[in-house]
Amino acid sequence: MLNKKIKVILIGTNNIGKLKEIKDLLPKSTKIFSTKDFKLKSPKESGKSFLKNSLIKAKFFSEKTNLICLADDSGLEIDILNGRPGIFSARWGGAENNFNKAISKVFRELYKKDKNWKKKKIKARFVCALTIYWPGGKLINSIGKIEGYISKDKRGKNGFGYDPIFIPKNKRVTFGEMKMNDKYKIDHRFKAFKKIKKFF
């Protein structure tokens, strides 16, 4: 089963930004379904790690549709905030996952921790865990990370989520300012996908 290339896949996310990015990583010949095609809501993410939450989603959507599912759980870890928001990255945006709210919360939390944070290099990383889940219970997963820093303010309109405040290491621009193709070549999701690319 694992030797056969995947030709049909369900992408297990209701996040439009993630859906687009994962679609762009997959071969053009892959037939792709989204959770919206089946009117499926996301399961409760009760895991304590990105990996566990990506597995919860992949298993849930695969079992609901009987399709092979690729699910992602990802987020931003900020060192000075002890790794927060981490697995709660989307939830910092409230019930509607509003990332303007989430970014404001990041800035508030940083200010609470250190009033002079804007004068310092605030280390952070994006983490992405991917799980492919086959009907019947076979699964493969991978993790990708990219190190960087938090910008002093929101910059750029590209990407989604925390992209406008994340500056990758050795770059001067945020993910929000980068062309999408440039971001895709270096980001955490690309790094995680590279490890499972052989299945497609």
73 as an active site residue: the answer is yes
**b/e per residue, 41-64, with b = 16+ CB within 10 A?**
ebeebebeebbbbbbbbbbbbbee
- The DSSP-derived string for 23-64 is HHHS-TTSEEEEGGGGTPPPPP---SSHHHHHHHHHHHHHHH
How many Å apart are CA 53 and CA 71, to the nearest integer?
Answer: 9
- DSSP letter, residue 85: B
Residue type, 4: K
Active-site annotation holder among 73, 79, 163, 187: 73
> ∠ CA 46-52-53 to the nearest 5 degrees?
55
Query: Rounded to whole angstroms, how far apart are CA atoms 57 and 77?
Result: 21
**Residues with catalytic annotation?**
73
